[in-house]
Amino acid sequence: MCGSVGIVDRRGERAFPRALIERMNTVQHHRGPDETGVHLGPGVALGHKRLSIIDLASGQQPMWSADGRHVIVYNGEVYNFQTLRSELEALGFAFRTRCDTEVLLQAYAAWGPASVERLRGMFAYAVWDTRERTLFLARDRLGIKPLYWCELPDGRLAFASELKSLLEIDDLPRVIDPNAVEEYLALGYVPDPRTVFRSVHKLAPGHWLLAERGTGAPAPREYWDVPFAPVPVASEAAAAQELIERVREAVQVRLVADVPLGAFLSGG
């Protein structure tokens, strides 16, 4: 688990106070007690709290691409990052680290927003493009990793791994959404994309968002949904065998780490 925060200016290149992004970052310190990173640039401020899992020595964030065009903050794990790395190396991309963060960064440089469709894992991340002045946000297929975002009246767009980080923004509109309250009382939680505040949204599972300068309000786009089409099964025995193989393979891909691992029988 890591934590990401950020603010971008969709109307210009305003400078954001370091104290603000540091407060937003510190609020979610529990998500990543190992390392802290902050980047400030024209029209952008990014923060990250890291829980080190892979490549403990060189996976610090925010992480820049070698050419200085893209910078990423990321929470999660991409289980097929080694396969993607090999594919990117075949395209001519070079890597300075062993971590999945750099694979995400290079994948975005290679394939843009469509890169998220290649990822297998749990993730929520943001990529800032310094040339195009765009912010790309993406969340994994089932929404395992959280990502909140809001657009402020003055053209700023902010995001964070937790809602309370956004509350550090003094002029964030705090009008309660009564529909969200009703859903919470009925269901015990607020379904995506609502939050308790009208101004703040969850990026829904299987969606990405591209915030561009000087355009209308950004709209999340769906890149994946659960397929409900019937799948032919040869026999009950074949289905049982396939289930066992899929579970074994799912466990195996989650064992890639540079730190000790544990498992909960409950599944959370």
Residues labelled catalytic: 2
- Residue 240 identity: A
User: What are the Cα distances from residue 206, in Å, to 102, 162, 229?
Assistant: 21, 18, 18
Q: CA 207 to CA 221: how far, in whole Å?
A: 5
Q: Show the tokens assigned to 230.
A: 């019937």
Question: Of all helices (H) and strands (E), which one includes residue 72?
Answer: strand 70-78
Q: Show the tokens assigned to 62.
A: 């925010």
Q: CA 90 to CA 219: how far, in whole Å?
A: 34
Report which of 32, 26, 35 is spatially closest to residue 1, judged by C-alpha positions.
32
Residues in the chain: 268
Q: Label residues 227-242 b or e (16+ Cβ within 10 Å = b).
A: eeeeeeeeeeeeeeee
CA angle 6, 10, 12 (to 5 degrees): 110
Helix, strand, coil percentages in the chain from 3-state DSSP, rounded to 5: 30, 25, 45
Pairing mode of beta strands 200-202, 156-160: unpaired
